[in-house]
């Protein structure tokens, strides 16, 4: 085998019964399916002793640890020719998909309002998890065993998808989706990343087989509705299939966008005639069209850049990061962060206190989080994963430190550790930066970026020494 071998597979992972929807701090039962949830797998094997990888993207809010480990464990028996540790499962972060695990998600959700999830007709997460494990195991096997010699070609372009959603004020505070229509409004907190990293793959006869799209924004135009949807990725897939054929595979990779949203243009939001309503289906259609136009515009150039034998290397690491552990004396300050009038909501306030106590106990028992991070080199591009809702500044810094021509930063992969805010976000507070909104703080964020950059740069330095 002299060249890269590529395999693709996709399947429907939409639940067949009503489910509780994940992604908000209030109960939502699905009433109908607007568009299907999809899982897409890309299998890669390098030529002449090259490495392996399977990247599996799912239209879910997060990837809990039990899903990553469960699929990998099954593959060790059912697909022994594939090294199961080289599996990456990542989420698009649609807010209109089922839970896989109530416990892990609720443990990492800061403010809680006592959601019960007790409807007897709703599919429980344990049942959906079993369906997912079965479907994803079969999907990886199909992609891996269907690989054939082909080619890849990277490309790049811009598409406005996400905007920073944290408003900063002159009094030193910040607010998620805060209004700019105040005298004390200062600015959006950070930059947005409108660059889209692209990878086209081609079959043995030169036909387009699939497109990888790395977008630094979660798929959450419709983040609070009571129906199932893959959000703007459903629109992008449908349009790209119309252009390139029903056999085309689209692999969405959510880039660093923990402080980003498709309806985060704080300045223009709500002003008539300036843009589509980015909180409605109109917004999903608009973003799907933008991504389609970008992929189509880069197609001709990508077709001329096919590489049938790019170097492929893949390493897996567990980076030890310090937990963000609150102090006992901060208890009431943290309660006040989440609840405007704690005395009027004693039950909810006590639930927040219990989460503070739990986090303190966890920190005392094991003060670190071991983040699973995958680093790949494919030709002149790098791919680096993390399990966080990683704030955009971290992703931009990692791309700047990388020696690769292009760097795909993939968040919400292999595990879920919630938000990873920047120093300035923690100082200004606001939801997504509060003490209970993630396992790791800025100290760990800088360590994650620096360590990941060093690891991925090793892949390019080793090649240069050969």
pLDDT band (50, 70, 90) for residue 465:
very low
Asked if residue 25 is part of any domain, the answer here is yes
Same domain, 39 and 125: yes
Looking at residue 12, what DSSP letter applies?
E
Number of separate domains in the chain: 2
Provide φ and ψ at 199, rounded to 5°.
-140, 120
Same domain, 148 and 257: yes
Measured between alpha carbons, how far is 464 from 420 in angstroms, rounded to an integer?
33
Domain hosting 355: range is 326-366
Asked if residue 403 is part of any domain, the answer here is yes
How far, CA to CA in Å, does 231 sit from each of 36, 43, 238, 408?
10, 25, 12, 21
Asked if residue 207 is part of any domain, the answer here is yes
Please calculate the CA angle 151-155-156 and round it to the nearest 5 degrees.
Answer: 165
- Encoded tokens for 302: 């990508």
The mean pLDDT of 395-402, rounded to a whole number, is 98
Same domain, 133 and 182: yes
Enumerate the β-bridge partners of residue 316.
374
Check pLDDT > 90 for residue 408: yes
Asked if residue 398 is part of any domain, the answer here is yes
Same domain, 206 and 341: no
Asked if residue 14 is part of any domain, the answer here is yes
What angle, 0 to 180 degrees and rounded to 10, lies between the N-to-C axes of helices 232-244 and 281-303? 40
Q: Which of 303, 338, 366 is the last residue of a domain?
A: 366
Asked if residue 321 is part of any domain, the answer here is no
Residues 6 or more apart whose CB falls under 8 angstroms from that of 271 comprise: none
The mean pLDDT of 161-172, rounded to a whole number, is 96
Q: Which of 338, 366, 394 is the last residue of a domain?
A: 366
Same domain, 234 and 348: no
Asked if residue 114 is part of any domain, the answer here is yes
SS3 411: coil
pLDDT band (50, 70, 90) for residue 464:
low
- 219-241: buried (b, 16+ CB within 10 Å) or exposed (e) per residue? bbbbbebeebbbbbbbbbbebbe
262 near 161, Cβ under 8 Å?
yes
User: In what helix (H) or strand (E) does residue 334 lie, and over which residues does it extend?
Assistant: helix 331-338
Measured between alpha carbons, how far is 81 from 75 in angstroms, rounded to an integer?
9
The pLDDT assigned to 31 comes to 96
161 near 215, Cβ under 8 Å?
yes
The pLDDT assigned to 114 comes to 65
Same domain, 343 and 417: no
Model pLDDT for residues 244-258, shown as the tens digit of each residue: 999 999 999 999 999
**Among the residues of 9-154, which ranges form H helices?**
65-78, 102-107, 125-145
Measured between alpha carbons, how far is 234 from 89 in angstroms, rounded to an integer?
19
Measured between alpha carbons, how far is 155 from 200 in angstroms, rounded to an integer?
8
CB count, 10 Å around CB of 114?
Answer: 10
Residues 6 or more apart whose CB falls under 8 angstroms from that of 167 comprise: 174, 175, 176, 177, 178, 179, 180, 185, 187, 188, 189, 266
Residues 6 or more apart whose CB falls under 8 angstroms from that of 129 comprise: 66, 67, 70, 100, 101
Same domain, 40 and 92: yes
Asked if residue 424 is part of any domain, the answer here is yes
Same domain, 219 and 297: yes
- Encoded tokens for 236: 């992008």
Model pLDDT for residues 11-31, shown as the tens digit of each residue: 999 999 999 999 887 889 999
The pLDDT assigned to 404 comes to 98
Which of 40-49, 290-299, 343-352 tops mean pLDDT? 290-299
Same domain, 149 and 99: yes
Same domain, 432 and 381: yes
- 77-96: buried (b, 16+ CB within 10 Å) or exposed (e) per residue? eebeebbbebbbbbbbbbbb
Model pLDDT for residues 316-345, shown as the tens digit of each residue: 999 999 999 999 999 999 999 999 999 999
Same domain, 419 and 441: yes
279 near 126, Cβ under 8 Å?
no
The pLDDT assigned to 118 comes to 84
SS3 439: coil
Same domain, 90 and 236: yes
Check pLDDT > 90 for residue 466: no
pLDDT band (50, 70, 90) for residue 312:
very high
- Encoded tokens for 268: 């223009």
């Amino acid at each position: 085998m002299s060249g890269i071998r590529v395999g693709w597979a996709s399947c429907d992972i939409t639940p067949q019964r009503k489910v509780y929807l994940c992604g908000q701090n209030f109960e939502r039962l699905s009433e109908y399916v607007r568009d299907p949830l999809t899982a897409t797998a890309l299998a890669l094997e390098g030529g002449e002793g090259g490495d392996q990888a399977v990247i599996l993207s799912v239209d879910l809010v997060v990837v809990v640890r039990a899903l990553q480990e469960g699929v990998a464990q099954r593959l060790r028996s059912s697909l022994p020719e594939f090294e199961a540790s080289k599996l990456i499962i990542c989420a698009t972060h649609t807010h209109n998909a089922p839970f896989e695990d109530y416990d892990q998600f609720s443990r990492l959700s800061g403010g809680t309002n006592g959601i019960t999830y007790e409807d007897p007709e709703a599919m429980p997460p344990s049942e959906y998890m079993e369906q997912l494990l079965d479907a994803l195991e079969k999907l990886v096997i199909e992609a891996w065993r269907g690989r054939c010699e082909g080619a890849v070609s990277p490309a790049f372009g811009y598409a406005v998808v996400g905007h920073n959603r944290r408003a900063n004020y002159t009094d030193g505070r910040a607010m998620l989706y805060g209004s700019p229509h105040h005298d004390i409004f200062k600015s959006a907190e950070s930059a947005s990343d409108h660059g889209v990293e692209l990878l086209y793959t081609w079959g043995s006869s030169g036909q387009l087989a699939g497109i990888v799209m790395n977008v630094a924004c979660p798929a959450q135009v419709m983040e609070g509705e009571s129906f199932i949807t893959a959000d703007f990725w459903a629109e992008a897939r449908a349009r790209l299939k119309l252009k390139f054929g029903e056999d085309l595979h689209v692999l969405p990779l959510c880039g660093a966008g923990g402080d980003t949203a498709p309806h985060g243009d704080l300045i223009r939001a709500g002003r008539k005639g300036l843009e589509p309503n980015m909180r409605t289906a109109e917004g999903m259609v608009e973003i799907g069209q933008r991504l389609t136009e970008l992929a189509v515009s880069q197609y001709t150039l990508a077709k001329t850049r096919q590489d049938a034998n790019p170097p492929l290397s893949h390493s897996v690491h567990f980076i030890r990061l310090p937990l963000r552990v609150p102090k006992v004396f901060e208890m009431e300050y943290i309660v006040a962060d989440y609840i405007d009038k704690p005395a009027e909501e004693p039950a909810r306030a006590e639930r927040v206190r219990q989460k503070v106590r739990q986090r303190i106990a966890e920190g005392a028992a094991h003060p670190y989080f071991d983040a699973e991070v995958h680093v790949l080199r494919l030709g002149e591009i790098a791919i680096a994963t993390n399990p966080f809702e990683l704030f955009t500044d971290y992703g931009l810094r990692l791309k700047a430190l990388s020696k690769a021509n292009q760097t795909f930063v993939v968040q919400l992969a292999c595990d879920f550790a919630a938000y990873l805010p920047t120093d300035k976000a923690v100082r200004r507070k606001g939801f997504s930066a509060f003490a209970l909104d993630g396992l790791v703080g800025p100290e760990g964020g800088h360590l994650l970026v620096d360590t990941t950059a060093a690891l991925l740069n090793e892949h390019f330095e080793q090649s240069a020494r050969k």
